[in-house]
Structure 1
């Protein structure tokens, strides 16, 4: 039989309340609060996090979903005194040492579980859908096609289209009218256009005295647009207004994340070079006779990762790579060798297809390398595309409002 002496330590560090529902609330060493559910699942939260996220009107402004308290009056040194679970309201109740009380809905707590499975579910389902990498042989399987009218008129189709852009990285729309505002309408259906030095919408066609390489009839090598922007455009919307009847003018595309992953697995030394050595990307000039001059510069590696170590951005544009290479001399040769391997793999995995008038080719500009074959213009044979950009912040926001219309903080 245990003496009182043996029980004093555990009781000082663990407050315990049990109800008929079977849910148990426990305070562990005044640092954590744990809920044990009837199915055996245990939800554990830092007490400082609970105080920081108190949902009472004094601490939280529900209408704006904003925390009202300031960190200088924050929870670091305020400890939980007692915890209990109210079966009727299905709430965790926490009484603090400064006489403040907090209550938390069970469902709210379950959605914010610190367990690995719950965290991963939030990252995949709410934060960003996980991407599906693909090579040339999988192109037919991953291609998603939509009706232009359906995307404009049906929220369910809009959601599917945006998810395809997030997961597969591209999608094709058919049936767009012969209207120079198609790209703008799609961008505004999502949210709003990203305006660049080339305007809010831009034209891709053969131009005399072209100020951009894309306005020539020559082959356009695989690239991403605007690597010279710190906040690079998220998606590229390209509406084929008129398609060339010449053999050329076909679209080319490669999944840049697939190539980066292939480099990581098969050529790890080259991969590290492209992941770590910054490149100077630039754009200098003006667009059109009346265009304002611009001088855009950004230094970044070819392969960029996010905070979770996932692929976030590919920078590749041979025509916009600066002759200034501001790295130590001994890194230059190794970079060129790695870059050559990257381009070799990208070209080998490139798919080719030719859009028709009324098609809209939309793709993730942070991920997809795109280009086109050469073509010939004549008075009776023109190729005319109209494009627009939208940032991923806007796209993900729209996607979440469609998936979670009743989301709460």
Structure 2
């Protein structure tokens, strides 16, 4: 009877300085000529077999049915084909698989490859910034360049993903600018406020943003489970008064500071759900709405990274569906969050033709008070786009030849 070492040796194929072998622990290894060691679970290789029997190339989808087969079928032989640059696998049920080495490298289970995929393909890493870094991270683009040049469109979307905001200059005096930008990316997000919304002083205002009073730092629509990804705000007319300036804070940076300096407050804001609501109607012909969503101020993704900030004092429900003890600790943590956010807030004023675009899951934005009088108006038109659509567009620009 062959020993374990002898069995592994029989499954080993050496070609020049490239080595393919099966490990007793259920892994297949490829030792590359340049010294990289690639390791893959046998079950993963069978699950991802690229042959015509298992994979439908046109739809980029698996054809095979699991029915427990891939979990129990073991590798019989492996070889590295130097001419084709492929790992060739013969399974115990006589099925054959072949994997391009370049395809395998992109799917390496090593830390470096995983990190590269998550940051370059999945989502670019956010660059956190505070008040002192604002001018360094501020990016400006020409509106017409974004509309007509894919390279500039890609840079703009990268800026929204990384820095969280950008300003477009030179937009025309056209009420459809926000809609055109949303269409340039992909699809507009329709909300209870319509495809687009107008921010201006209105009699009998149905939204706090339509008043002339200061608008505190907030994110839009925390009462939506599928919260709008970016906010596109086109300044058609800017108030000539001293007010009407934008305020902005990087909410991810605020949360990160709390995590480092006040971990007990961070944990409260991460774990305690808040009731966010929006009740009313927008305009005489609009349908009434009653939106509710429960979520913490700070939300994390599956990798433990900060992924969404919910903050809107005007839309925080008086109903707090938590215990009495949680409520007291939450207010203390919330106070520290707002104190930090306000200390890091920057202020700037857009002009007619500017389009201020920002990540609504991340940025806290607001506005200083302004005077609305004849000859002194302020009029903005806004629209939303979801991050699913934005990331999809960004990937098609970055990887136009991607196969899967």
- Match 1:165 to one of 160, 163, 174: 160
**Gaps in structure 1 of 5+ consecutive residues:** none
- C-alpha contact (below 8 Å) 1:30/1:81 kept by paired residues: no
Equivalent in the alignment of 1:106:
101
Residues 162-209 of structure 1 show CA distances to partners (whole Å, capped at 9, x for unaligned) of 000000000000000000000001001000101111011110000000
Offset of residue 34 of structure 1: 0.3
CA distance in 1, matches of 2:65, 2:234: 49
How far is the alpha carbon of 1:31 from its aligned partner? Answer: 1.2
Which residue of structure 2 aligns with residue 273 of structure 1? 268
Contact 1:241 1:386 in 2 (8 A): yes
State the alpha-carbon separation in 1 of the partners of residues 336 and 69 from structure 2. Answer: 53
1:71 aligns to what SS in structure 2? coil
Structure 1: distance between partners of 2:69 and 2:106: 24
Change over 3 Å in CA distance of 1:28–1:391 after alignment to 2: same
SS of residue in 2 equivalent to 1:81: strand
Give yes or no for contact 1:159–1:399 (8 Å, CA) kept in 2: yes
1:181 alignment partner in structure 2: 176
Instruction: Confirm or deny: 8 A CA contact 2:89 2:98 kept in the other structure.
Output: yes
- Picking from 386, 390, 398, the partner of 1:395 is 390
For residues 25 and 344 of structure 2, what CA distance do their matches in structure 1 show?
Answer: 56
SS of corresponding position for 1:114: coil
Match of 1:18 in 2: 14
Residue in structure 2 matching 1:384, options 373, 379, 387: 379
The corresponding residue for 2:358 is: 363
- What is the number of equivalent residue pairs in this alignment? 403
Distance 1:279 1:349 in 2: 24
Shift of 1:379: 2.2
Which residue in the other structure is 1:29 paired with? 24
| Number of the residue aligned with 1:249 | 244
In 1, Cα distance between equivalents of 2:68 and 2:85 = 29
Q: For residues 325-383 of structure 1, give each alpha carbon's deviation from its aligned partner in whole angstroms, at most 9, with x where no partner exists.
A: 00011111110111011101101110000000000000000000000000111121110
SS of corresponding position for 2:285: coil
1:30/1:84 CA distance change after superposition, 3 Å:
farther
Q: 1:281 & 1:70 partners in 2: Cα distance?
A: 43
TM-score (norm 2): 0.98
Residues 270-304 of structure 1, C-alpha deviations (whole Å, 9 max, x = no match): 11111111000000111111110111101010000
Query: How far has the Cα of 1:30 moved from its partner?
Result: 6.7
Q: Aligned equivalents of 1:115 and 1:257: distance in 2?
A: 28
CA distances 1:8-30 after superposition (whole Å, capped 9, x unpaired): 2212245100113x211101127
CA displacement 1:33-91 (0-9 Å, x = unmatched):
10001222110000100000000111111111111112226411111111001111111
1:339 maps to 334
Match of 1:354 among 349, 355, 370: 349
Distance 2:85 2:343 in 1: 58
Gaps in structure 2 of 5+ consecutive residues: none
Question: Are positions 1:289 and 2:284 aligned together?
Answer: yes
Mapped partners of 1:268, 1:25: distance in 2: 47
Q: Deviations over 1:219-252 (max 9, x none)?
A: 0000000000011000000000110101110000
- Could you say what the CA RMSD is over the residues aligned between the two structures, in angstroms? 1.0
Which secondary structure state, in structure 2, belongs to the residue aligned with residue 75 of structure 1?
helix
1:25-64 to structure 2, matched below 5 A, reads 25-29=20-24, 31-64=26-59
Q: Which residue is 1:230 aligned to?
A: 225
Q: SS of the counterpart of 2:72?
A: coil
Q: C-alpha distance in 2, partners of 1:293/1:74? A: 53
> SS of the counterpart of 2:71?
coil
Q: Which residue of 2 aligns with 1:72?
A: 67
Between the aligned partners of 2:362 and 2:58, the Cα distance in structure 1 is: 37
Separation of aligned partners in 2, 1:336 and 1:70:
52
Q: Secondary structure at the match of 1:39?
A: coil
Task: From the superposition, tell whether residues 57 and 30 of structure 1 become closer, same or farther in structure 2 (CA, over 3 Å).
Answer: farther
The question of 1:304 aligning with 2:299 is answered yes
* Per-residue deviation, residues 100-141 of structure 1 (Å, max 9, x unmatched): 100000100011100001110111111111110000000000
Does the Cα contact within 8 Å between 1:52 and 1:74 map onto a contact in 2? no
2: CA distance, partners of 1:18 / 1:71: 32
What CA distance in whole angstroms lies between the structure 2 residues aligned with 1:72 and 1:390?
40
